[in-house]
Structure 1
Amino acid sequence: MGSKALSGVRILDMTHVQAGPTSSQLLAWMGADVIKFENPTGDITRKQLRHDPNKDSLYFTMLNSNKRSIIANMKSKAGCEIFEELLRKCDVIMENFGPGVLARFGYTWEKIHEINPAIIYATIKGFGSSGPYSDYKAYEPIAQAMGGSMSTTGFPENPPTITGAQIGDTGTGLHLAIGICAALYHRTHNGGIGQEVEAAMQESVMNLCRVKFRDQGRLMGGKAALPEYSRPTLGLTAVPRAGNDSGGGQLGNCIPCKPFGTNDYVYFIVQEANWPVVARAIGDEALVTDERFATLAERRKNQNELWKMIADFAKNYTKREFTAFCNEKNIPCGPVLSTEEIMTDPHVAHREMIVKVEGHPQGDYYTVGMPIKLSMGNVDKILPAPMLGEHTEEVLKEVCGFSAEKIAELKAGGAFEVPPKKKK
C-alpha cells in the first residue's frame, strides 16, 4: 500500500476547462493516479489566455499538475477500445461534458457500469442531469447569477456583481472531490459496487451562499429587517447587495488607509465582546459608554457613523501598520491584499500556497498550492502539468497492458488522430 492518502486509486479524467480539472488535481495531490484523457487536439484551455503563443497557458498548467496525459480519438473504433480498457482499469471516471455527450458515443452510465461494476462515475453539470434547466449551458458567471451570489454581491445602487473567487467552477470541483472520496469509502464498505456522483454548479454556488438563504428566511417576506446591514432592509422581500457589510453577527467593514491607493484598505471587525477595546483604541473611555455605540443594537443602528470614526483614526496608518496595531490589541483586522502582494507574502510562502513548479519542458511557472493539509498522505512535490499526450504510450503499456505491436495497431486504426470535422 502506498504512503499517499489516495495511493492505489486510479482516475480516468475526461474533464476540461476549470471545474473538473480543479477536482482531479486535488485528488492527484493526495496521491491518486490521474490519467487525463484528451482528444488529440487537447483540453481547450491549453490555448486559452496564453501568456506565450508557443506554450500551454497558465490556465491549463495551474490546473493539471501531477497528472498523466493520454490522447485518444473516440470517433474511431481504436480510440473506443482504449477508452473501454481504461474503464476496466480505473476506479473513477470523471467528466464535465454537456448533457448526453458520452451517451451519444454509446457510453451511458448503464454501459459504463456493465464494463466495470466497481467504477465510480463522477460528473459535473451546470444545473444537474434532470430538471427544467438541465440543458442550459453554464459558465462561472451564469452559475453565480443563478445560484444567488450575484444578486447579493456589490452595492445596492449598482448592478449585480460577480465575485473574484471562482465559486461556480472551483467551488463545484471541491464539492465533486468530496463526493468522490465518499463514494470510494462507500464502495469499500458496501460490496465493491460503484455509483454515480454528480455536482451541479448552481447547487454548489447555493451551498456557498447558504448564509444569504438564512437571511432570506429572516426577512419573513418583508415583515422583518436585517439589523446588521448598514442600510435599511425593512420591507425587502429578497436579500439585498450588502456592499462591504460583513452580513454576520459581528459588524465589519472595509476601512481606507494611507496612501489611499487602489487596495490600501483593511477589513475591520467590531466584536460584541470586544467593543470596549475598540473604543479605547480609536477614542477614549467616554466612547466606551457613548449611548450611540454602547450596545450592539445601537452600534448597528449607528454603524455608518462608527465607520467614519474608525476611518478617521486609520488614515494615519498604512494597511500593514494598522493591521499590526489592531492585532496587538486582539482586534480582528486584515489588509486587503492584491494578487501581486499575495505572490510575495511571507505567510503564504510559509504555508506553501504559492509554489514554483520546476521542470516543465516549456519553462518553470508558479501555481497556487495544495489547500488541504494532511499530516500524512499528500504528494511530496507538485509536478508540472503534462504535455499533450505525453504519457500515451506509458499508460497504454503500464495500465492497459498493451504491447508495442498492439499500440501500433491502434495507431493504424486512427486512435491518436484528430477527429474528422463534421460535414456541413
Structure 2
Amino acid sequence: MKALKGVKILDFTHVQSGPTCTQLLAWFGADVIKVERPGVGDATRKQLVDVPGADSLYFTMLNHNKRSIELNSKNETGKEVLTRLVKECDVLVENFAPGALDRMGFSWERIQEINPRIIMASVKGFGPGKYEDCKVYENVAQCAGGSASTTGFLDGPPVVTGAQIGDSGTGLHLALGIVTALFQREKSGRGQKVLAPMQDGVINLCRVKLRDQQRLEKGPLKEYSQYGAGIPFGDATPRAGNDSGGGQPGRILKCKGWETDPNAYTYFITQAAVWEKVCDVIGEPDWKTKEGYATPPERLSKLDEIFARVEAWTMTKTKYEVMDICNPLDIPVGPILSTKEIMEDQGLRATGTIVDVDHPERGQYTTVGCPIKLSDSPVDVTRSPLLGEHTTEILQQVLGYEGEDLARVIASGAVGQVTK
C-alpha cells in the first residue's frame, strides 16, 4: 500500500521548488494533478531542450508519477473546473509570485469557503517582511540564506553550491509541512496554510554556520584552517574551503591520477578516535605520542602540515583504494564521485536511487529516484506526463463530468485542445 494513497494534490507549481515537493508526494502515492497552461505548460518543458520536439530533462526529472490537465483559469468554464478541483482535493500547492492566486479570484478565504479541509501550501522567496514581494531564484536564495557567504575559499569570492538547496531544498521542507498539516487535519478536521520561504529553507540548511557565528563571538574558530595559518577572523563566519563543518578536521585531498582526472580526490577526516590508525596508515607512527601531535588541541595549529602528509599518501592510491584501506579501520573517508560515476553506480541503481525511465517522445533517460525509502510503501518511478495527457481522465474520474457536460467543458476552450 502506498503511504499517501487517496490523497489528492492540486499541483499549481512550476520550475523546481514546487515540483520537487509534489513529485515526492506522488512517489509516496498521492494523486498529483498538475495544472498547466493550455498549449504552453510548465516553462521547464521547453527549457534546456536536448531532444528536439520532446520535453526537456529539466521537466521530466521533476514531474514523475503525476497527471497533467490543461486549464485556463481566466476562462469562466476554467474557473468552474478549478473550483471543483479545489473542492475535491486535499492539498493545493503553489509557487506563484505573491498575490497571483488572489488575482485569479482564489484567495485563501475563497479557497476555505470552497473546501474548509484543504491545505494550501506555498513556496515563496522570502517570508513576510520588506522583501516578500521579491522574485527569487535558486542562487538568490543561497545568497540570502547564508550559504554563499560561507562557501568557497577565504581568499576568493562567495560561491554558490551545486546542490539545489534553494529550490529542491525548499521543496523538501514544504513536503514535510504538507504531511504534518495532513496529520493535524486528522485531529482538527480543518485545513491550514503552509508556507516555506526559500530563504528560510537555506538558513535551516546552514544552521551550523549560525552556530559558528555565535562561537566566533567567544573566540577564534580553532578547527578552521585559517586559525592554524595565523589569519585573523573577522566579525562573521568565514568561508572555510573544504574544512569539515562538524569540528573534526577534514580536507579534500588529491588521489592517484589527479593530474588528468578532475575528480580523483577523496575527503579525509582525521577523527580523534582513530588518530593512531591514521598515523599508522600514512607511515607516521611517532605522531601518536609526539608532542604537538598527540592530542586534538595540539594538532589544530598544524593541520596544513598534517594534511600535506596525508595527501602525500593518498596521492599514491586511487580514491577507491583509499576507501578500501581506510573504511575497515573506521577512518572516515569518501571518494569525490562525478555525476557520471553516480549515474553508473550499480549500488545506487539497486536501491532505486538512480533509475532509467522510458518516455514516448525522448526515449529512455536516467533520473533520480525517491531518496527516502519506506519499507511498506515502495516507490515505482513512472514517467512525467505529456502536456494535458490526462485532461479528459481527470474531468471524468475526479470531477465527474460526463456526456454533454463534458462536451461543454471541452468546447469552451478552457482545457486546451483535448485529444482522445
Secondary structure, counterpart of 1:364 in structure 2 = strand
What is residue 218 of structure 1 aligned with on the other side? 215
In structure 1, what residue type is equivalent to 2:144?
A: M
Offset, 1:105: 1.1
| Corresponding residue for residue 226 of structure 2 | 231
1: CA distance, partners of 2:353 / 2:149? 31
Structure 1 contact 224–234 (Cα < 8 Å) conserved = no
SS in 2 for 1:111: helix
What SS does the aligned partner of 1:348 have? helix
8 Å CA contact 1:360, 1:385 repeated in 2: no
Structure 1 stretch displaced more, 118-127 or 355-364: 355-364
Aligned-partner Cα distance in 2 for 1:258–1:348 = 25
CA contact (8 A) 2:3 2:29 kept: yes
Aligned to 2:238: 240
Asked if the contact 1:120–1:197 (Cα under 8 Å) also holds between the matched residues in 2, the reply is: yes
**1:250–1:272 CA contact under 8 A, matched in 2:** yes
What does residue range 112-151 of structure 1 map to in structure 2 within 5 Å?
A: 112-128=111-127, 130-151=128-149
Gaps spanning 5+ residues in structure 1: where? 419-424
The amino acid that maps onto 1:390 is E
Please, which moves more after superposition, 406-415 or 270-279? 406-415
Counterparts of 2:378 and 2:111, CA distance in 1: 30
Q: Which residue of structure 2 aligns with residue 84 of structure 1?
A: 83
Aligned-partner Cα distance in 1 for 2:241–2:186: 47
Instruction: List structure 1 runs of 4+ shifted beyond 2 angstroms.
Output: 232-235, 358-362, 411-414
Displacement after TM superposition at 1:175 (Å): 0.3
- Cα distance in 1 for residues equivalent to 2:266 and 2:251: 8
**Distance of 1:339 and 1:370 partners within structure 2:** 17
User: 2:152 and 2:232 mapped to 1: Cα distance?
Assistant: 19
User: Would you say 1:209 and 2:206 are equivalent positions?
Assistant: yes
Name the SS for the 2:272 alignment partner.
coil
Which residue type is aligned with residue 229 of structure 1? Y
Which residues of 2 match residues 30-109 of structure 1 at below 5 A?
Answer: 30-40=28-38, 41-109=40-108
Per-residue deviation at 1:234? 4.6
C-alpha offsets along residues 90-133 of structure 1, whole Å, 9 cap, x if unaligned?
000000000000100111100000000010000100002x2111
Q: Kindly state the Cα deviation for residue 412 of structure 1 after the two structures are TM-superposed.
A: 2.6
CA drift of 1:361 comes to 4.2
CA distance in 2, matches of 1:353, 1:81: 40
Q: Which amino acid aligns with 2:368?
A: V
Aligned to 1:162: 160
Shift of residue 407, structure 1, vs aligned partner: 2.3
Deviations 1:11-56 (A, max 9, x none): 0001000000000000000000000011111000000011112110
Aligned to 1:402: 401
- Residue 27 of structure 1 corresponds to which residue in structure 2? 25
Q: Does 1:376 align with 2:376?
A: yes
Taking structure 1 as reference, are residues 285 and 235 closer, same or farther at Cα in structure 2, changes over 3 Å only? closer
Provide the C-alpha distance between the structure 1 equivalents of 2:321 and 2:352, rounded to a whole number of angstroms. Answer: 25
Does the Cα contact within 8 Å between 2:54 and 2:361 map onto a contact in 1? no
Please tell me the residue identity of whatever aligns with 1:348. Answer: L
User: Match for 2:181 among 170, 174, 183?
Assistant: 183
2:14 corresponds to: 16
Distance across 2 between alignment mates of 1:404 and 1:125: 40
Shift of 1:290: 2.1
Letter in 2 for 1:219: L
Contact preservation (8 Å) 2:63, 2:385: yes
- Confirm whether residue 196 of structure 1 aligns to residue 158 of structure 2: no
Retained in 2: the 8 A contact 1:353–1:368?
Answer: yes
Deviations 1:233-273 (A, max 9, x none): 65421000000001322110001011112111000011111
Deviation at 1:346, TM superposition (A): 2.5
Supply the AA of the counterpart residue of 2:223. Answer: E
| Contact 2:55–2:361 (CA under 8 A) maintained in structure 1 | no
Listed one character per residue, the Cα deviations across residues 201-239 of structure 1 (whole Å, up to 9, x for unaligned) are 00000000000000000011xx51000001136542100
Partner secondary structure for residue 302 of structure 1: helix
1:357–1:365 Cα contact (<8 Å) kept:
yes
Aligned to 1:416: 415
* RMSD (Å), alpha carbons: 1.2
Residue 330 (structure 1) aligns with:
330
d(CA) in 2 for partners of 1:102 and 1:117? 17
- TM-score of the two chains, using structure 1 as the length reference: 0.95
CA contact (8 A) 1:119 1:194 kept: yes
- Distance in 2 separating the partners of 1:183 and 1:394: 28
Tell me the distance in 1 between the aligned counterparts of 2:403 and 2:263.
58
Residue 4 of structure 2: SS of its match in structure 1? coil
Displacement of 1:174: 0.3
Preserved contact between residue 150 and residue 163 of structure 1 (Cα < 8 Å): yes
SS of the residue aligned with 2:23? helix
1:114-160 deviation digits (Å, cap 9, x = unpaired): 000010000100002x2111011100000000000000000011111
Q: Contact between 2:53 and 2:361, CA under 8 Å: does it hold in 1?
A: no
| Partner residue, 2:353 | 353
- Of residues 402-411 and 146-155 in structure 1, the stretch that sits farther from structure 2 once superposed is 402-411
State the distance in 2 between where 1:412 and 1:199 align. Answer: 38
1:39–1:141 distance in 2 versus 1, CA, 3 Å: same
Q: Which amino acid in the other structure matches residue 384 of structure 2?
A: A
- 1:339 equivalent in structure 2: 339
SS in 1 for 2:221: coil
Please tell me whether the aligned partners of residues 391 and 415 of structure 2 are also in contact (alpha carbons under 8 angstroms): no
1:359: how far off? Answer: 4.8
Deviations 1:159-203 (A, max 9, x none): 11000100000000000000000000000011x110000100000
The separation in 2 between residues aligned to 1:279 and 1:235, in whole angstroms, is 30
Give the Å deviation of 1:293: 1.6
